[in-house]
Amino acid sequence: MPSPSPVAPPARLVVLVSGSGTNLQALLDAIGDDPGYGAEIVAVGADRDGTGGVERAERAGIPTFVCKVKDHATRGAWDEALAALVAEHRPDLVVSAGFMKIVGPAFLAAFGGRTVNTHPALLPSFPGAHGVRDALAYGVKVTGCTVHFVDDGVDTGPIIAQGVVEVTEEDTPEGEAALHERIKEVERSLLVEAVGRIARDGHRIEGRKVHLGHVGE
């Protein structure tokens, strides 16, 4: 009788946050609700004090750290410090969940190709900090969100998954927040699904194409 296949240990996630941590909470809920999700959050880091995301992590008993740019002589020194703090937790995957800082060469040297980010637009359209506003100003009929790997550009990394959100007649530049909330709902589900698939099944990147599934099959 053949021996049962060994169960792979869960992928180790470090999650980076800058705000309230709703995407972090979605990951926590998915991991808590599904024993087969395939990942565990081993640390949560922030770029500022007093974030809701860090508070959520502390309530869940997850180690946390804060790495502020202003505490370092240069942006490069901050980038190196952030990479070192993340490396202490030996992550398989880093998730930028509303993390509002752009990482640099030292971080990407350590975690390039395995750092996941979200963006509230359908990349490559409308990159940058005002994706929702820019999409509305352009008059698009649909927008959405993108989960992608981080590279050395701004929202330019290989795309993992995308979700579409309809823009209605009621969506005006003055009502940007309402559209953004609808995008965030889709974004949370998309992030949970993408991270889970990468954690369980692995991934490979060929040029700009991301393949999810058992690497080598």
Active site residues: 119
User: Comparing C-alpha atoms, which of 120, 92, 115, 118 is closest to residue 103?
Assistant: 115
Beta bridge partners of 165: 143
**Gap between the Cα atoms of 98 and 117, Å rounded:** 8
- Rounded to an integer, what distance in angstroms lies between the CA atom of residue 178 and that of residue 183? 9
Residue 118 half-sphere exposure toward CB, CA atoms < 13 A = 30
Dihedral sign of CA atoms 22, 28, 34, 36 in order:
positive
Residue carrying structure tokens 């690497």: 215
| Amino acid at position 65, single letter | F
